[in-house]
Amino acid sequence: MSGIVSYGAYIPYWRLQRSAIGAALGSGGGRGTRSVASYDEDTTSMAVEAGRIALAAAPSGFVPHTLWFATATPAYLDKTNATGIHAALALPDWAGAFDTIGSVRSQVAAMMGAASGGPQIALVSDIRVGLPGGGDESNGGDAAAAICFGDQNVICEQFGGAFATAEFVDRWREPGDVASKQWEERFGEYAYLPLVQQAFQRALDSTGVSAASFDHVIISGLHGRAAKATAKAIGVRPESVADDLSATIGNSGTAQAMVNLCDVLDRAEPGQTIAVVILADGASVWFLRATPELAAFRARQGATVAAQIASTRDDLTYASYLTWRGLLHREPPRRPEPDRPAAPPSLRRNQWKFGFFGSRDETGFVHLPPSRVSFGTGEIDHMEPVRMADVQATIATYTVDRLAYSLSPPVVAAVIDFDGGGRFQCELTDVDPDRVKIGDRVEMTFRRLYTQDGVHNYFWKARPIRGRAE
């Protein structure tokens, strides 16, 4: 039996109060908060974080032979984004890595590819940007999710589904544009409701279940009016409709359905059924059933969606949000801008740069960065590679630099000591510079240091340890 064997969502550390938008602009905003990817995050780095959570909770020995990545806001065009995720997750070189990008519906292709058989992983990630004061800005949200599929230890199996596809223009964004354009809401409702009714009824007919029988119903789509009308249109019980998390993290577009699925699976009981409905250029419907293996999964689970939301900060300023999204061009620190990362040395140091592998010599000393020469004995090439990305550490000392180049000054640099050995100097992120102290516990996170000449310089930073499952 093939199905979901593990999952993980990633919610960024920062949230923006929607009221801050109205306070700054005099209109727009609304109630609640939206999730905001930090200045050093993009859809690739967020997908890595979701993938790390999912793989850490996967069954013993699980190694995906294919990685599928979906986003409507890729960090690169022409170049495959999934290969960077593949490298950061330290997957073997025989494992494939492929993008399905450019549209919200691309998530469906990634999920279908990963569910086609054998151990595979689908990652979905999105950063939703709208023009200041618009609905996309206040209602959008940034998040990522990863779903692992396999044949053993299945925690959730698919038992039905259907599609309905149509060509119509309800939302669009030309290449290079920052924000999307959309037709007025009544048209979206008119176009989507017949399609979702058709797809849902086909799935019901093929499985013999009733609409009222589902324990959880997830409805996802960027057309808010159509999404709200869907539950009544397909005949599911109102109390079965899952919280879409729009009040706390917003609508994460390509990632919304799978983030919501992760949240539902965090609470679901074995035997319960889940309907996933996605409105994007048509309608996609999946019927899922939780299995008894879900209990065993929870024993090894890391961060739940609720725990991550609880560990976020919602005091991000609107000016910082605009700066991070490139909508407010501010005077940078008067320091030379960084050089473009060069491709040849990056390739030679791939294991270190993306996988964060150190080297351990015969005395047990861990070298960071990895070295060919033993610190203790002087032996050459008697080293064992050791992945440090998932090892926690303690701050030995730190400094706050208010002059270094950064989109979010000040820069907090620290020397950290890893559990079991290894000392490393790195930048801290998702941290309050006024509260950091020696002895704080930290974990590694994959981030984008900077972008120069269109080349993203990805590497690892440390951050305070975030909430885990209760």
What mean pLDDT is predicted for residues 453-467? 92
Superfamily of domain 3-324: Thiolase/Chalcone synthase (3.40.47.10)
Q: What confidence score (pLDDT) does residue 470 get?
A: 37
Per-residue pLDDT tens digits for 356-390: 999 999 889 999 999 988 877 888 888 999 999 99
Cβ pair 217, 241 in contact under 8 A: yes
Burial class (CB in 10 A: 0-12, 13-18, 19+), 378: exposed
Q: Which two tokens stand for residue 365?
A: 């000393």
End-to-end CA distance of the chain: 30
| Residue 209 vs residue 374, higher pLDDT | 209
* 200, pLDDT greater than 60: yes
CA distance linking residue 459 with residue 207, whole number of Å: 47
Task: Place 11 in a pLDDT band, splitting at 50, 70 and 90.
Answer: very high
Q: Decide the pairing of beta strands 96-101 and 384-387.
A: unpaired
- Report which of 112, 138, 106, 139 is spatially closest to residue 125, judged by C-alpha positions: 106
CA distance linking residue 399 with residue 414, whole number of Å: 6
Task: Place 303 in a pLDDT band, splitting at 50, 70 and 90.
Answer: confident
What mean pLDDT is predicted for residues 251-257? 98
Q: What confidence score (pLDDT) does residue 469 get?
A: 41
Q: What confidence score (pLDDT) does residue 333 get?
A: 66
Q: List CB contacts of 350: < 8 A, sequence separation 6 or more.
A: 87
* 334, pLDDT greater than 80: no
What mean pLDDT is predicted for residues 263-267? 97
The DSSP element (H or E) to which 193 belongs, if any, is helix 185-207
CATH code, residues 343-464: 2.40.50.840
Q: Which of 32-36, 186-190, 282-286, 417-421 has the lowest mean pLDDT?
A: 186-190
The CA distances from residue 256 to 102, 348, 412, 446, in Å, are 15, 37, 32, 21
Task: Place 329 in a pLDDT band, splitting at 50, 70 and 90.
Answer: confident
Task: Place 467 in a pLDDT band, splitting at 50, 70 and 90.
Answer: low
The CA distances from residue 452 to 38, 45, 142, 163, 356, in Å, are 18, 17, 23, 42, 22
Cβ pair 70, 178 in contact under 8 A: no
The CA distances from residue 324 to 219, 321, 413, in Å, are 30, 5, 20
* 125, pLDDT greater than 60: yes
Task: Place 468 in a pLDDT band, splitting at 50, 70 and 90.
Answer: low
Q: What confidence score (pLDDT) does residue 422 get?
A: 96
* 396, pLDDT greater than 60: yes
Q: Which two tokens stand for residue 381?
A: 């090439």
Q: Which two tokens stand for residue 134?
A: 């618009």
Residue 105 backbone class (left: φ over 0; alpha: ψ -120 to 50; beta: rest): alpha
Domain ranges of the chain: 3-324, 343-464
Sign of CA dihedral 26, 133, 256, 239: positive
Task: Place 106 in a pLDDT band, splitting at 50, 70 and 90.
Answer: very high
Cβ pair 200, 277 in contact under 8 A: yes
Average per-residue pLDDT in the chain?
94
What mean pLDDT is predicted for residues 228-233? 96
Task: Place 1 in a pLDDT band, splitting at 50, 70 and 90.
Answer: low
Q: Which two tokens stand for residue 111?
A: 């999920």
* 460, pLDDT greater than 90: yes
What mean pLDDT is predicted for residues 27-47? 95
Which pairs from 107-110 meet CB under 8 Å and 24+ separation? Answer: 107/70, 107/254, 107/255, 107/257, 107/258, 107/278, 107/280, 108/163, 108/278, 108/280, 108/284, 109/68, 109/70, 110/68, 110/69, 110/70
